[in-house]
Amino acid sequence: MKWTIHSLRVTADSNGLRLDQYLADAIDDLSRTKAKKIIDLGGVHVNGRRVRSCSLSVNAGDSIDVYIDHLPLDPYRVAGEDIIFQDKYLIVLNKPAQVDTQPTHARYKGTLYEALQWHLRDPFRLHKKADIGMVQRLDRGTSGLIVFSIHPRAHKEMTRVFLEHETQKGYLALVHGRLPQPQGEIRSLLARSRKENKVKSVEKGGKEAITHYKVLEQLGVYSLVQVEILTGRSHQIRAHMSEQGCPLVGDVRYGGQREVGMQKVVRPLLHATILSFPHPVLSQTMDFTLPVPGDMDGILRQLRGC
């Protein structure tokens, strides 16, 4: 999904206008109501700093950048059904697709991190932020299991557990085509190509990425694949599947298509179904599993002729 970026310079005749009014005047087809929502989400940066006050007065010469990610303008909030597990030290969530894990230029409010801050807020100390450790990230389009540490006693040990790969992270992916073997290992060095705006395997200079896969089902020209990653590199599954000639359905950046039959796919069909790790404080293993979400299940049913 591409962002729209507006880079503006305030002229003398706009000096003193409210920020929301200025944006509505300066950007075609942007209403003042929509401008207020974009500001509130955190998509407006004045002189390089994120600003979330609609009433801020702009000054001649100000540089204003407006980032629009074309996602819903109503911010995501953690719902009861999203919480898989919570104790004093941890929270495990079922992340919805199309929600960013961490803040982006286009939004702070409504990201998983901010929504968790809101969920964990102290009603008697609203200005004190919750103490959250982010040890895991999922791409915007990826749904499923994700864990955060939420207590100082848990942060350091959770970081160690993930850095030393004492976790099991399993995914279901629907991909185009057929993989070369019914199961196998993909091992490479991954590096980000700024020119292509994606991650790819390189001969040297990248970070080691190890992916295990097993084909669960052949569905015509598609394959349902169980994937386990032994490393947690950015876009690891997406890059490795694409380089096997089997990009994820819906993953346009890595060569996937956005349609299955007559049905449009709005995100890469990747779902985190398994998460296992040792509790950072208590002496027990935490094991979680999830079924596929509704959008992915609907496409699988269509391919199976259900």
Answer whether 245's CB lies under 8 Å from 253's CB.
no
Closest CA relative to residue 99, chosen from 1, 232, 225, 234: 1
Element (H, E) at 4: strand 4-9
Give the pair of three-digit tokens for residue 186.
């993909």
Residues forming a β-bridge with 62: none
CA separation, residue 204 to residues 2, 200, 207, 235 (Å)? 30, 11, 9, 18
Residue 76 per-residue DSSP state: P
Q: What are phi and psi of 128, to 5 degrees?
A: -95, 120
Query: Of 20, 62, 139, 295, which residue is the catalytic one?
Result: 139
Is residue 297 part of the annotated active site? The answer reads: no
Give the pair of three-digit tokens for residue 217.
């089902």
Residue 48 CB neighbours (<10 A): 7
Q: Which residues are catalytic?
A: 139
